[in-house]
Structure 1
Amino acid sequence: MKLKEVIVVEGKDDTVAIKRAVEADTIETNGSAVSESTLAQIVLAQQRRGVIVLTDPDYPGERIRHIIREHCPSCKHAFLPKKDAISKNQDDLGVENATPEAIRQALRHAKQEDNVSSEVITWQDLHAAGLIAGGNSRKRRERLGDLLHIGYANGKQLHKRLQKFRITASEFSEAMQQVFEEEETTCQKI
């Protein structure tokens, strides 16, 4: 799989993992203190070839996305589920731990954010689906983020992401149906 876009990652190990999965150029942020020169490279890459941001599914990774979004809002974003980014001994979370197939899957589902607010899924929808304030809400949000390829987010951020990535009510409903079916299957096994 060869990509036209440049992939923004956090470090050298992430670049190695990307190269195992796809043929693509990368820009490394070297952590969450993204320099002005790195941001300038990202903006230029977006103008010339397009950019996909693929950071670790953790707070520093989200911080990097936010910084890039501020300077270059038209980038696409790809998300790895936490389960695909955790090391074998469960002590490290990062893109460098993902399999080539997990990386290809995340890149295939890269989405561009849209700053035009057209609320399709409401706060009431999130409450009704048990995604906010409930015993299983965190697990449900995590699974929903995986199914919709928008990553994990807390309730407030989930609502924003659903709007930014223009997730339709139909997509939301289908994903939630799968979440509920999986929960039911898990309960039946117990």
Structure 2
Amino acid sequence: MRIKEVIVVEGKDDTAKLKQFFDLDTIETNGSAIDQKVLDQIQHAQDKRGVIIFTDPDYPGQRIRHMIDQAVPGCKHAFLAKDEARAKHNKGIGIEHASKTAIEAALAKVYQLAMTEQSLISRDDLIDFGLIGGAQARTRREKLTDRLRIGHANGKQLLKRLQMFRITPEQLKLEMEIIFQEESDE
């Protein structure tokens, strides 16, 4: 399958993994040492074909994603959950360890950050759904962010992330109903 946009990844192992399954082009950041030359390449790719930022689900990956998003607004974002990106035999975490199914799911559900439009989701909604300020809040946030594929978020980041990715109150309610059903089945 051909992917039109250029995929921004952290390194050559990520590129090799993606090229096993897709016909695509990548730009490698070579870790978090992103220089202006790489940012210029990403801007050019964004102008010509569009860009999907697809970094590892860890702190360095989030930092790289943020740096690129600040320098090159309008990029799309794809996310893997941490458990989808874990190596089986070591402590490694990254796209290069993910399965074809997980990568396909992440690239099928990309988000573009909202520039001005804000979600109608409020902090009160997060409290009502037990996503902040409760005993199960962390677990529910992890389940929600994995289901929505918006990357791990702590309590302070969740509202911003839901707004940035234009998650509607209806989407939030539907996902939370599924999470509540899973909890009652346990």
Relative to the length of structure 2, the TM-score reads 0.96
Tell me the amino acid that sits aligned with residue 83 of structure 2.
K
CA distance, structure 1, for counterparts of residue 13 and residue 39 of structure 2: 20
Structure 1, unmatched stretches of 5+, are none
1:29 matched residue in structure 2: 29
CA contact (8 A) 2:2 2:24 kept: yes
Unpaired runs of at least 5, structure 2 = none
Structure 2 counterparts to residues 33-52 of structure 1, below 5 A? 33-52=33-52
**Which ranges of 4 or more aligned residues in structure 1 deviate by more than 4 Å?**
none
Q: Does 1:19 align with 2:19?
A: yes
Contact 1:116 1:164 in 2 (8 A): no
The residue aligned with 2:8 is 8
Identity score, percent: 52
- Once residues 38 and 58 of structure 1 are traced to their aligned partners in structure 2, the CA distance between those partners, rounded to angstroms, is 21
Cα deviation 1:20-72 (Å, max 9, x = unaligned):
12111000001112111000000000000010000000111110011001111
Greater Cα offset, 126-135 or 11-20: 126-135
Matched position secondary structure for 1:3: strand
Shift of 1:133: 2.4
d(CA) in 2 for partners of 1:40 and 1:60? 20
Return the alpha-carbon distance in structure 1 between the equivalents of residues 153 and 93 of structure 2.
16
Inter-partner Cα distance in structure 2 for 1:82 and 1:90: 14
| Alpha-carbon displacement from aligned partner over 1:58-89 (angstroms, at most 9, x marks no partner) | 11111001100111110000000111100112
Which whole-Å CA distance do the structure 2 matches of 1:90 and 1:134 have between them? 33
CA–CA separation in structure 2 for the residues paired with 1:168 and 1:79:
19
For residues 166 and 117 of structure 2, the distance between their equivalents in structure 1, rounded to whole angstroms, comes to 9
Number of the residue aligned with 1:134: 134
Aligned to 1:104: 104
Q: Which residue of 2 aligns with 1:84?
A: 84
Q: Distance in 1 between matches of 2:48 and 2:152?
A: 30
Moved more, 11-20 or 130-139: 130-139
Alpha-carbon separation, structure 2, partners of 1:118 and 1:108: 23
Q: C-alpha deviations, 1:69-118, integer Å up to 9, x for none? A: 11111000000011110011251111110011211110110110012142
